[in-house]
């Protein structure tokens, strides 16, 4: 039985329909990724599901006891509540009890019998409601997201406020969880924790995200909103991409055939009076119908189209950092860091929020002076800087005025009209005189890209450029950066984007130390796992064997050792075992991708998901064991 069902739902704002006779349902245990271009109505669909917006037509059916939590894109308003209070408020009456207890324990006078009696009474009420487990969940989520529980929401930045509202949604554990761009403003550690949390989430999930890695790991079904229509694609993200391209090709062929037929009929009607004879009236009416259909047909929204002018060639050395350190008072952000960035390098910068990534960029750009050490810049540098806070944009000015003081802009040595140039960044003509304050996050990012790409630059510095961009624009930006001949510095929490763009990474580690690694995020993650496993092996080998354990002593003295008979048999059996597990993994994925999978009883759905996770874990263990035995065998 579905948790929710939309039946023939339509909703329009202005002349274009956002939802056009939509049918949709979601069952317990499903994890649906809602995909669509910026501005197509994804957020509106979520508001219809939560009853925050009413459809023009159709019905929305919900289970009577359905509990829904929604993380919206908008930043919450100011409030004097602390972060703990806001997060706990998602728990209803139990949250109020926890808040009351939290206040009482922080403000209690331990010498006051009345105060201690009140705390004891609250403890009893919380225990009877099973609240201590829930309180632990609140504190766990706050810790994982790095949120200070006593800080007032009014004193937090916009990014922190979104994290607080994400925490509020997660702790309530509703039947249906709606997340609109949940990874925005999260660092990689928080994103990977969120991913694991949602993989184990027992309710249903609908999420909107530009994070393709999250989508690949999490989604059991892709639902695309395109020109007011919903299309469902059971299975994973890569399967959706293949099916979508095939459907668009079929649609394009059908449209070409329709247009050819319409042109023939228009030529026939122009030939004169014979078309108006009685026996041809049916053909004339059919032509009128075709004209109406052609006028009503919504064409596929165009793709963004833009380029990067790499400018003149810079010197071979771009930046030389020599034993650079930087600190804010006693807080050391960068400690004794040296590196050279050469012409053509593509450097990714990774680290938790607040670790100092933007500070490192400012040191490189000369906006900050190091506490000690030297930053030596190369010659003939032409710099373009994408600032994650979009300080280059004036929110009070229009889109046009932010780009140019006239109707023309110089791009790659030639003048282009502002309207034509902005069309390449998906801004329709009627949008260019809108104030920047009225734009969505994705539109502001596209405008900032349009602004910085007007200038030639042989060094690009991009600080979180991927927030709020749709997948098509992200992929285009990746292609442009792959062909870019200049030097690139990129700060991003988008794992796929890093893997597809950078050639080496700088990683903020503990106590201001910065590590330098070849490759992108996945390469660094593999290296980190390898180091962790090696450290565990070293620690295990370093433990002294018991004095009476002759076998351990013999093993320690036998170096290099060979595989035992049992280990040799194990090594020989591992490939077949891995092949069997991979086949089972493929079979489970195929079952989950079937259209009727989520019509089964919830216990069967849960069992399949648990088995998939177990197979994945077992495969990882087999791969590690195979590698370990191969090392000994060689």
Residues 44 and 22: their CA atoms lie apart, in Å, by 13
Average pLDDT for 262-281? 62
In this prediction, residue 480 carries a pLDDT of: 82
The pLDDT of residue 173 is above 80: no
In this prediction, residue 122 carries a pLDDT of: 61
> Considering the chain, what is the average pLDDT of its residues?
80
The pLDDT of residue 210 is above 70: yes
pLDDT band at 281 (very low <50, low <70, confident <90, very high): low
DSSP letter for 404, please. -
The pLDDT of residue 54 is above 60: yes
pLDDT band at 557 (very low <50, low <70, confident <90, very high): very low
pLDDT band at 614 (very low <50, low <70, confident <90, very high): confident
- Residue at token pair 């639902």: 223
Q: Look at 143-152, 214-223, 593-602 and tell me which has the smallest mean pLDDT.
A: 593-602
The pLDDT of residue 172 is above 60: yes
Q: Look at 38-42, 198-202, 330-334, 508-512 and tell me which has the smallest mean pLDDT.
A: 38-42
In this prediction, residue 376 carries a pLDDT of: 93
Question: Quick one: what percent of the chain has pLDDT higher than 90?
Answer: 18
Average pLDDT for 299-310? 60
Nearest Cα to Cα of residue 263 among 255, 274, 252? 255
Token output for 215: 């989508």
In this prediction, residue 405 carries a pLDDT of: 83
- Which sign, positive or negative, has the C-alpha torsion 557, 563, 564, 570? positive
Which of 193-207, 230-244, 271-285, 389-403 has the highest average model confidence (pLDDT)? 193-207
Q: Which residue has the higher pLDDT, 421 or 103?
A: 421
Nearest Cα to Cα of residue 22 among 56, 50, 72? 56
Q: Are 171 and 134 in contact (CB under 8 A)?
A: yes
Which of 65-74, 390-399, 462-471, 498-507 has the highest average model confidence (pLDDT)? 498-507
In this prediction, residue 391 carries a pLDDT of: 76
Beginning with the edge strand found earlier in the chain, give each strand of the sheet holding 68-71 in spatial order.
68-71, 176-180, 204-208, 31-35, 221-226, 229-234
In this prediction, residue 276 carries a pLDDT of: 53
Helix (H, G, I), strand (E, B) or coil at 350: strand
Condensed to tens digits (0 to 9), the pLDDT of residues 42-53 reads 888 999 999 989
In this prediction, residue 4 carries a pLDDT of: 92
Burial class (CB in 10 A: 0-12, 13-18, 19+), 418: buried
Cβ neighbours of 48 (radius 10 Å): 22
pLDDT band at 616 (very low <50, low <70, confident <90, very high): confident
Q: Are 31 and 218 in contact (CB under 8 A)?
A: yes
Q: Which residue has the higher pLDDT, 621 or 536?
A: 621
DSSP letter for 261, please. H
Side-chain-side CA neighbours of residue 555 (13 Å): 11
DSSP letter for 394, please. -
Q: Are 198 and 152 in contact (CB under 8 A)?
A: no
- Looking at the DSSP assignment, which residues form a beta bridge with residue 460? 384, 488
- Looking at the DSSP assignment, which residues form a beta bridge with residue 517? 505
- Strand 487-491, strand 459-463: pairing: parallel
Rg (CA), the chain: 30
pLDDT band at 580 (very low <50, low <70, confident <90, very high): confident
Average pLDDT for 64-82? 79
Token output for 305: 């189209």
CA distances from 173 to 9, 169, 296 (A): 27, 7, 43
In this prediction, residue 414 carries a pLDDT of: 80
The pLDDT of residue 118 is above 50: yes
Nearest Cα to Cα of residue 500 among 486, 526, 481, 516? 481
In this prediction, residue 30 carries a pLDDT of: 92
CA distances from 377 to 54, 340, 343, 391 (A): 57, 10, 12, 24
Q: Are 325 and 372 in contact (CB under 8 A)?
A: yes
3-state secondary structure 451-494: HHCCCCCCEEEEECCCCCCCHHHHHHHHHHHHHCCCEEEEECCC
Question: Quick one: what percent of the chain has pLDDT higher than 70?
Answer: 78
Nearest Cα to Cα of residue 471 among 34, 44, 31? 34
DSSP letter for 156, please. S
In this prediction, residue 153 carries a pLDDT of: 83
Condensed to tens digits (0 to 9), the pLDDT of residues 175-208 reads 999 998 888 878 888 888 889 888 888 899 999 9
Average pLDDT for 585-608? 72
Average pLDDT for 422-428? 81
In this prediction, residue 556 carries a pLDDT of: 46
Nearest Cα to Cα of residue 199 among 184, 181, 177? 177
The pLDDT of residue 216 is above 80: yes
In this prediction, residue 155 carries a pLDDT of: 80
Q: Are 181 and 210 in contact (CB under 8 A)?
A: yes
The torsion angles phi and psi of 499, rounded to 5 degrees, stand at -65, -35
Q: Are 460 and 308 in contact (CB under 8 A)?
A: yes
Condensed to tens digits (0 to 9), the pLDDT of residues 437-447 reads 877 777 788 88
- Looking at the DSSP assignment, which residues form a beta bridge with residue 229? 226
Residues 305 and 309: their CA atoms lie apart, in Å, by 14
In this prediction, residue 75 carries a pLDDT of: 63
Token output for 10: 């339509």
Nearest Cα to Cα of residue 345 among 452, 489, 231, 224? 489
User: Is 0.85 topped by the overall pTM?
Assistant: no
The pLDDT of residue 613 is above 90: no
Q: Which residue has the higher pLDDT, 205 or 143?
A: 205
In this prediction, residue 555 carries a pLDDT of: 47
CA dihedral 239, 244, 250, 256 (to 10 degrees): -160
Whether the bond into 560 is cis, omega within 30 of 0:
yes
pLDDT band at 103 (very low <50, low <70, confident <90, very high): low
DSSP letter for 598, please. G
């Amino acid at each position: 039985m579905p948790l929710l069902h939309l039946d023939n739902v339509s909703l329009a704002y202005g002349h274009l329909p956002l939802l056009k006779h939509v049918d949709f349902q979601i069952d317990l245990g499903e994890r649906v990724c809602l995909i669509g271009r910026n501005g197509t109505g994804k957020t509106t669909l979520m508001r219809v599901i939560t009853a925050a917006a009413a459809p023009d037509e159709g019905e929305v059916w919900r289970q009577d006891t359905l509990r829904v939590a929604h993380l919206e894109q908008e930043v919450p308003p100011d409030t004097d509540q602390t972060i703990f209070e806001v997060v706990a408020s998602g728990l209803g009456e139990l949250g109020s009890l926890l808040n009351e207890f939290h206040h009482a324990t922080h403000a209690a006078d331990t010498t006051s019998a009345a105060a201690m009696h009140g705390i004891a009474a609250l403890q009893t009420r919380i225990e009877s409601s099973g609240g201590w487990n829930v309180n632990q969940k609140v504190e766990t989520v706050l810790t994982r997201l790095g949120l200070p529980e006593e800080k007032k929401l009014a004193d937090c930045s916009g990014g922190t406020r979104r994290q607080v509202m994400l925490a509020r949604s997660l702790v309530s554990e509703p039947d249906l969880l709606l997340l609109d761009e949940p990874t925005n403003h999260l660092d990689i550690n928080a994103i990977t924790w969120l991913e694991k949390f949602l993989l184990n989430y027992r309710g249903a999930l609908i999420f909107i995200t530009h994070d393709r890695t999250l989508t690949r790991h999490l989604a059991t079904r892709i639902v695309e909103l395109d020109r007011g229509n919903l299309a469902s694609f059971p299975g994973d993200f890569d399967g959706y991409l293949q099916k979508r391209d095939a459907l668009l090709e079929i649609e394009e062929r059908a449209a070409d055939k329709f247009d050819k037929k319409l042109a023939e009929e228009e030529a026939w009607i122009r030939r004169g009076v014979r078309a108006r004879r009685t026996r041809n009236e049916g053909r004339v009416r059919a032509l009128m119908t075709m004209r109406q259909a052609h006028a009503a047909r919504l064409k596929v929204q165009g793709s963004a189209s833009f380029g990067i002018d790499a400018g003149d060639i810079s010197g071979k050395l771009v930046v030389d950092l020599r034993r650079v350190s930087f600190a804010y008072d006693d807080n050391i952000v960068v400690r004794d860091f040296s590196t050279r960035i050469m012409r053509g390098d593509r450097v990714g910068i990774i680290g938790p929020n607040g670790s100092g990534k933007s500070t490192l960029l400012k040191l490189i750009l000369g906006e900050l002076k190091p506490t000690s050490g030297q930053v030596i810049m190369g010659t003939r540098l032409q710099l373009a800087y994408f600032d994650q806070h979009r300080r280059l944009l004036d929110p009070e000015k229009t889109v046009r005025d932010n780009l140019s003081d006239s109707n023309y802009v110089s791009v790659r040595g030639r003048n282009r009209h502002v309207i034509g140039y902005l069309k390449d960044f998906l801004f329709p003509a009627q949008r260019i005189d809108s104030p920047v304050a009225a734009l969505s996050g994705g539109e502001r990012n596209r405008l900032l890209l349009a602004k910085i790409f007007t200038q030639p630059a042989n060094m690009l510095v991009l600080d979180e450029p991927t927030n709020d961009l749709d997948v098509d624009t992200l992929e285009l930006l990746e292609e442009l950066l792959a062909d870019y001949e200049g030097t690139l510095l990129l700060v991003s929490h988008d794992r796929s984007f890093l893997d597809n763009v950078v050639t080496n990474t700088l990683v903020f580690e503990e106590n201001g130390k910065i590590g330098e690694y070849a490759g992108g995020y996945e390469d660094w993650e593999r290296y980190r796992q390898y180091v962790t496993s090696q450290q565990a092996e070293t620690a295990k080998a370093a433990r002294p064997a018991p004095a009476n354990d002759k076998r351990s002593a013999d093993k320690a003295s036998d170096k290099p050792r060979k595989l035992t008979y049992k280990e040799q048999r194990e090594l020989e059996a591992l490939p077949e075992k891995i092949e069997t597990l991979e086949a089972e993994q493929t079979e489970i994925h195929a079952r989950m991708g079937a259209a009727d999978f989520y019509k089964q009883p919830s216990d069967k759905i849960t069992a399949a998901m648990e088995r998939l996770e177990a197979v994945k874990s077992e495969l990882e263990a087999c791969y590690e064991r195979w590698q370990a035995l191969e090392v000994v065998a060689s």
